[in-house]
Amino acid sequence: MASNNKQESRVSRNRNQPPKPPKKHWFRRIILTLVALFVVGVLAGVGLFFYYAQSSPTVTESSLKSENSTKVYDSNGTLIANLGTATREYVKSDNIPTTLKNAVVSIEDKRFYQHKGVDYYRIIGAALGNLKGSSLGMQGGSTLTMQLVKLAAFSTSTSDRNLKVKAQEAWLALNVEKHFSKSQILEFYINKVYMGNGIYGMGTAAEYYYGKSLSKLNLSQLALLAGMPQSPTYYNPYTYPSYATSRRNTVLQAMYDNKVITKQQEKDAEAVSVKTGLAKSHSNVVTKANKNKVIDSYLTEVLADIKSKGYDPYKDGLKVYTNLNMNAQKRLYAIANTSKYVTYPDNNFQLGVSVVDSYTGKISAMIGGRKHTNVTYGLNRAVQTDRSNASTMKPILDYGPAIEYLNWPTYKTVSDTKYNYPGTSTAVNDFDNNTLGNMTMRSALIQSRNIPAVKTLEAVGRTRAKTFANNLGMNLKKVYYANAIGANVSSLQVAGAYAAFANGGTYHKPYYINKIVTQDNQTTTYSSAGKRVMKKSTAYMITDMLKDVISSASGTGTTARISGVYQAGKTGTDGFPASDNKPSNADRDSWMAGYTKNYSVSVWTGYDTKAQYITPTTSKIAQDIYREMMSYLQQYSPNSDWVRPSTVGTVKKNNITELYVVGHLFSSSEASSGTSSSSSTTTNNGTTTTSSSSSSQTASSSSSASSSSAAASSSSSASSSSEAASSSSEASSSSAASSSSSQAASSSSAAESNNNQQGQ
């Protein structure tokens, strides 16, 4: 019994023990998890692919065959330009040499005849390349069919380099392969690619680069054409023969690797110079008629603007809608290039004109020169910044800031007495080398006297003046006292700045493009967000004074007068440095900038070289151009005067209605303070003003010799203004300003520091 009990006890114990856990297979679980994740990933990828595919753009035979040039439209949606410069020579498949087909396939997609639009092996290879840090990128997986689809439906902008677009390219490529043969697809591609210099298609490129049809080109030439689409600019055999040679040889090697040429053929073709057989002219290529000189300057800037926005205007097939008023542009071109409106002294006389919408900043018209040659996208003088804008700078850098920061009334007394640029012994002069004593700010601006302008800049302080001017788009790196009467800025910058005065103090950066539509119908619109840069009182008071520049008998802009039109404006002329040994009445530049409530127009005139110069007679041409252009514009826009804001008050001074900032009505003593170094009584334009001693001539210098040297460079063109309009003219002090740098360098830097502090 005892024995049985022991046995039962062992059995019982064994039964009561928990079963041993099975052996854990961790490795198998990891594998299964990875497989599951892979399957889920594949399913997600497939789902995402079809999700993207549903929103794919439409690709038609027409879009596959058409050239990929960008089309430009005016503000009314009328086509004005096609950026392809030549009529395309479309070559049918039967007329495309087999050698060229082999070259294209070898370099772009060697499995072209095996896949159905998407090369899965190539995609995997590109993906592995990306993981290894290869430069292939996502484009490495693109087949020739996918590249064709991209040309037909997408752009090359950064926004179109993403997974969604690649998925859509693949989907569309699969569909293209279902509807078109390989021969057709290759034909579409060869005729569609961009080949540089505004040329589309390899057939047109053969005529352009070699003056022959494709069928007459040799292996070396065909290999080069096959390789050019990757980078038409750098593989241009005319301009970059070494790059072109390298690319051609790469194509030849690919052809050998693809077994479509022999090693001997490869070597023989490589031995041929890429310059062999290049055409010396391109007269055999028919240029498109819509390459119109009328819009050349405007189109030049539109082209640059498209590129700055990340698009390729020659590859992306865009629709670009601009702000161009084509009727105004035609009139501006006629004004510049015929004698119907303005009489010019000779064909070398040049101009640069910008027309800006006062309320929006839209650039309505522009011309960068007259009597153009056949050069396309030539020099646009309307946007050049290498000439001084002379006295058109005075409202921007001098009197505008004085009203804005110092609350000066229009009857503020300013002194036209002997005066040196602060910190120097160099005198500020006017054309007549004369001084007129004390006068109101209004009178100084109307007559465009230089000394009061420089003194006003000194009173404001260059730091604040620079801020005010740069808020108006001047982009000044540093302000020198010579800039009070001119700085190197463009007519477009001046037009944009004056537009802010016209609309009551809001600056809109001028812009060309209204919207861009890509091939997949993605639309991006553009506008210039306005920024208030001055008080309404400042804009109105400047405008009120500038109205008198044109309407007053003593104003410098009387030639620009238009009967019945409410407008304001400013003239400017810039002389030569004394070292140029020009006649005393010779000027280098002449300006007229003016505006209505609707448009701002800025005109520069002059010569490209110093060999010729403007005379007192031809200096009026800028005003003639302005008057004719503004007269045309005002026919199609409302003509109304500016309404005085509640922040501006009026007061009679010597029978003249003067303006002041409400809350800052200057007394006679306040108005005349800070004008001259000694008391004097002067009568000007019927206004008798008594001035008191002041510190307006406190010396101030550049903080260093290097600053002074820069000032001299600016001064040589900016500070010499002269103009004889009716009984008054603008000053010319270039020779004096040119010599100021060495003297300024020795002046106390503390004086300039003190001046800046006083201007705060």
Question: Alpha carbon of 683 to those of 291, 556, 659: distances in Å?
Answer: 59, 20, 20
Q: Which residues are catalytic?
A: 108, 391
Residue 739 CB-half CA count within 13 A = 10
Q: Which among 434, 387, 345, 393 has a CA at the least distance from the CA of 732?
A: 434
Describe the strand order of the beta sheet including 513-517 as a list of residue ranges.
79-82, 71-73, 319-322, 513-517, 523-525
* Integer-rounded Cα radius of gyration of the chain: 36
587-595 β-sheet, strand order? 363-367, 350-357, 599-606, 587-595, 568-575
3-class DSSP state for residue 225? helix
Instruction: Cite the beta strand spans of 479-536 per DSSP E.
Output: 506-507, 513-517, 523-525, 531-532
Report whether 410 contacts 544 (CB < 8 A).
Answer: yes
Burial 443-452 (b: 16+ CB within 10 A, else e): bbbbbbbbbb
CA angle 724–728–729, rounded 5-degree value: 45
Burial label, 271 (beta-carbon count in 10 A; 0-12, 13-18, 19+): exposed
At which residue do the structure tokens 């090359």 appear?
A: 156
d(CA 450, CA 403): 18
User: How many CA within 13 A on the CB side of residue 725?
Assistant: 35
Using DSSP, state whether 712 is helix, strand or coil. helix
Extract the tokens encoding 531.
């920024």
The helix or strand, by DSSP H or E, that contains position 124, with its residue range, turns out to be helix 120-131
Distance between CA atoms of residues 237 and 280, nearest Å: 12
The tokens of 338 are what?
């015929």
DSSP states along 646-711: TTEEEEEETTEEEEEETT----HHHHHTTSBSS-EEEEETTEEEEE-B-STT-----SSHHHHHHH
Measured between its terminal Cα atoms, the distance across the chain in Å is 118
| Under 8 Å between Cβ of 107 and 254 | yes
CA distance linking residue 289 with residue 81, whole number of Å: 9
Surface-to-core class of residue 652, CB atoms within 10 Å of its CB (0-12 exposed, 13-18 middle, 19+ buried): exposed
Cα(317)–Cα(200) distance, integer angstroms = 11
Tokens encoding 99: 């050698």
